[in-house]
Structure 1
């Protein structure tokens, strides 16, 4: 959600005249565009009482408190010794960005609130007709951006990119960019305040100054149509000369040409060549794309494949596929992760899934992950489930929350529509059935279909349960009883029988699942285990022995689910979670990972890897 500042009323008015943008462009593949990487060393200053936002009496902050002012505090106070400043960004502590502030210093470990970031950078003068944008891949959770002391805009949502035009504010020579990032969750936000993973406040993904021509290619969606016969490209231009501009797309030996309409959008298509290789796990063929319009060129690499549901099957390129998966959080390996997802970090995580577990599928939970991860998944040949942070205590009856969720969903889809790896858009996780919730999620499902008709829609649902008479006596029966199922392509359910229930592990394998009229995925199941803790006699929870046995029994239960077409157990790696405070086994970590924070494989890792190896050997 991009907007002019929604701070205290007294401080809004002065910003209106100087704001450079209310809503920025998409700027697909900003990492490949001309400009300047602003990652690196930044100064930071904590502001727990939001002193830099509002004064004591709800008025604007005074000069000695505005961390975004374009001034050198030391020089000002030398020139005027009576001046009182209670900040000095230039001499504040430094941190290397992108990274969450959790790892900046020990005292930042559990900080929640507002932190100001600032760095100075040199820029050459813009040439006539050029435009400049500040683009952030993510800042968690609300970001307020200033350039050279002037407000340029605000963004809400910690996991999607945003851009603001700064053409009129960028100086030749030294510039100062300041960002106020507030990690505090709100009751009408997304995600909601109650969660089970680390907040990771801060600027967690790269920042870039992007330079474009006056009219440029903002977005190019290049894909194989659902029938598998046509390559289509929707190209959106931004700028005064967008309407009627000539556009060409070169890919796979084809040149698609045409003109943008009055809305700046060109819709191009051509029959796919017979030689086109389909993208798939094990054969992740990617093609270079070159989009030209006027003075601008946009590059990308895309794969071509189809994904559909037919009866109870998920079909990839027309053939049934079983999703051998695992869930991931956006958290790199290491004892002190900072949510710094480099290409190497992404490859390490996805490599454990593909090469270690024999997986062909990852669920990126519970929010849009870094663009680095989805691009690496394209290259490595992993199918992807992508979702937005709609779960648990979301304010489903609040119009602002729905608007925010729709914008997050749209931003995520616009960013990643070119990623062949993504086959499932998820609109929610573990949400209680209710009229407001059903309407809310129904709207999101409709949005997905309007924005992208080439992928499948899902949501992680909850299961109903009762005890019935079975062939071997009394047993549990589970099924999906959710009105949202009618709007989904793939039904997904989280099941933790044997961990969050009193079921004996031997009883878990006997649980029966009612068949569904659509393919079903076990989107979560898991049990905590502290790496290295063994208790084979008592088989206590948190032991590797219990976790391994839990996996054996749950995978046996999968044979009792006739509609099952995929699994994504919870979770690949132990992850930070402040709510998990057992002093021996958890210590601030959710231990459901199949590997430890540093990558040590637990006993259950082999259980799942062997199970997937067998399925793979059977061609599933």
Structure 2
């Protein structure tokens, strides 16, 4: 699906220059399908606690900051930094686990990478970042390429006009300080890993290319003999008359379209139902798809399935399914640090498969792309979420725009992945009219981007009275699936579990998006002794028995697969800055509760 670049030097170097405007671009979809050169590897870095490389001593942005990568030209020149003499860090990574001095650091770090370029005029060069946490500015050869805000979604810039023959430099200013108006906001229960946390690539694209495309199986009534695939695409320029072809060799399906004045195409492809094998967890079938714009072709592997609700049921390919899930943070399987490789994804998802899961909640932000793709290959359904978490600045228009952009980029990256069935817009948000307007706007916007999937969010139960819990949330009208978090046994006595009654007054499927409690692996004692494996084991036994009584229960994603780092978890000798609610320890060891959930899922 991707060719090696014959004109690139792969050892930290090599790229292709082209002529194009230096402006931020909409996210390119399926970046793996294009020729690219990785800029991963060793990057020089400078820790800049007071941001002296960007602001002068009056806090005014400078014209000649660290980003110009200045070198002394005369013996008397005063330059108080030197990237080439500074230490190096592996990219992608987080600085917290790469430099022990930066374990708790929140602030600015500068990164610099050099590479070689070969001028080319028949194509464009995009500089692509899988994610940078959180606020980053990018310069190429001392000139501004762009600015991005948001720590978990990809972005790219056309840097064709910034490249030169010979040695080039990319300099990135990364700032992960927390602010009340950010998404997520100032407090959150995971580690604020700073840095260039996902892949960096130089991507070669034609002058005209498919910026985005969508190929989805449409719902059909009954046993239809013919199934329809809805196709749409947008090229990078608003130009009419370009030819777009869709070809699925295995189905012998080929169709051409012509772009309109907006550079868009749309239409329907028809295929005999008996020829089409649908994607599902048991048989995660994908079809090779070739998409051609003029003379340029990109390839993808796309699965076809439908997802919908009927009353309190979730239907996959028209059949009810119980979502046997687990929540997962985007953290490495063994120890801490941001997960960013196929190997990380495979290990985490293999543990989920061992549990008996057919579903994962990727919390509380978009995980790296290979996590979603590996889940698709392994037959695991996905809930994907943006970090609208706890108390957001609901009335701040910039905060809403930030959340909306992260939602846009999450959907743009993954909307052709068959396993993604739920877009989640929030987690545990306090009720208010301002919050309802904010989240309602996100839900309606998400449907304009993708109306083929379900919308949900993790709600809180606020109507508790003795042993009756009533879910009452105005957001029920905006979501397809009612999901909520509950912690009977952890924040309430586990002995209450058999007495609990749940009132969910909505004719919609129910997912318990979180339940669980903490235990330190290897710490044993009585089942009423907190932090022991026996306590967590008993909590899972009591909770699963309680959940079996909930009418309309369509799935669960207990909290959480693996212990993960959090600055809020400070108890010495037990937490040590880890949230211990994992069924697997931070070293990959399975706790007793792992086997309770596994046994329960065997009955579903």
Q: TM above 0.5, one fold?
A: yes
What is the match of residue 608 of structure 1? Answer: 597
Deviations 1:131-187 (A, max 9, x none): 111111100001100000100110000011111111111112211000001101221
Which secondary structure does the structure 1 equivalent of 2:601 belong to? helix
What is the match of residue 238 of structure 1? Answer: 236
CA contact (8 A) 1:533 1:544 kept: yes
The answer as to 2:351 corresponding to 1:352 is yes
Alignment of 1:438-457 (within 5 A): 438-457=436-455
What is the match of residue 294 of structure 1? Answer: 294
What is the match of residue 34 of structure 1? Answer: 35
> Which of 86, 90, 93 pairs up with 2:84?
90
CA contact (8 A) 1:256 1:269 kept: no
Deviations 1:70-91 (A, max 9, x none): 44x3xx2xx4111111110111
The answer as to 2:516 corresponding to 1:523 is no
CA distance in structure 2 between the partners assigned to 1:34 and 1:425 by the alignment: 30
What is the match of residue 380 of structure 2? Answer: 382
What is the match of residue 536 of structure 1? Answer: 526
Alignment of 1:509-588 (within 5 A): 509-515=498-504, 516-536=506-526, 539-588=528-577
Deviations 1:195-248 (A, max 9, x none): 1100111101101111111111111211112338211221111137x4220000
The answer as to 2:219 corresponding to 1:226 is yes
CA distance in structure 1 between the partners assigned to 2:203 and 2:521 by the alignment: 45
CA distance in structure 2 between the partners assigned to 1:514 and 1:340 by the alignment: 38
Which secondary structure does the structure 2 equivalent of 1:572 belong to? coil
CA distance in structure 2 between the partners assigned to 1:89 and 1:559 by the alignment: 59
> Which of 487, 492, 498 pairs up with 2:489?
498
CA distance in structure 2 between the partners assigned to 1:372 and 1:582 by the alignment: 34
Deviations 1:74-119 (A, max 9, x none): xx2xx41111111101111101110011122110111101110001
Which secondary structure does the structure 2 equivalent of 1:410 belong to? helix
What is the match of residue 256 of structure 1? Answer: 255
CA distance in structure 1 between the partners assigned to 2:151 and 2:351 by the alignment: 26
Cα RMSD (Å): 1.5
What is the match of residue 15 of structure 2? Answer: none
Deviations 1:416-475 (A, max 9, x none): 10011100011111001100000000001101111111100001101134446xxxxxxx
Offset, 1:21: 4.1
CA contact (8 A) 2:237 2:262 kept: no
CA distance in structure 2 between the partners assigned to 1:54 and 1:382 by the alignment: 47
CA contact (8 A) 1:181 1:201 kept: yes
Scaled by the length of structure 2, the TM-score of the pair is 0.93
The answer as to 2:108 corresponding to 1:110 is no
Offset, 1:281: 0.5
Unaligned runs of 5+ in 1: 1-18, 469-475, 616-620
CA contact (8 A) 2:24 2:145 kept: no
Which secondary structure does the structure 2 equivalent of 1:351 belong to? helix
Offset, 1:330: 0.2
The answer as to 2:161 corresponding to 1:164 is no
CA contact (8 A) 1:289 1:302 kept: yes
CA distance in structure 1 between the partners assigned to 2:32 and 2:86 by the alignment: 29
CA distance in structure 1 between the partners assigned to 2:298 and 2:144 by the alignment: 29
State the aligned residue count: 576
Q: 1:60 to 1:188 in 2, by over 3 A?
A: closer
Unaligned runs of 5+ in 2: 1-19, 222-226
Alignment of 1:177-188 (within 5 A): 177-188=170-181
Alignment of 1:7-406 (within 5 A): 21-61=22-62, 63=64, 66-71=65-70, 73=71, 76=72, 79-126=73-120, 128-227=121-220, 229-239=227-237, 242-251=239-248, 252-274=251-273, 275-335=275-335, 337-354=336-353, 356-406=354-404
Offset, 1:253: 2.5
CA distance in structure 1 between the partners assigned to 2:165 and 2:63 by the alignment: 29
Which secondary structure does the structure 2 equivalent of 1:124 belong to? strand
Offset, 1:588: 0.4
CA distance in structure 1 between the partners assigned to 2:541 and 2:208 by the alignment: 58
Q: Which runs of 4+ in 1 moved over 6 A?
A: none
CA distance in structure 2 between the partners assigned to 1:542 and 1:465 by the alignment: 28
CA distance in structure 1 between the partners assigned to 2:476 and 2:143 by the alignment: 48
What is the match of residue 472 of structure 2? Answer: 481
CA contact (8 A) 1:225 1:232 kept: yes
CA distance in structure 2 between the partners assigned to 1:153 and 1:455 by the alignment: 32
What is the match of residue 8 of structure 2? Answer: none
Scaled by the length of structure 1, the TM-score of the pair is 0.91
Q: 1:382 to 1:200 in 2, by over 3 A?
A: same
CA contact (8 A) 2:562 2:582 kept: yes
Offset, 1:32: 2.6
CA distance in structure 1 between the partners assigned to 2:498 and 2:215 by the alignment: 45
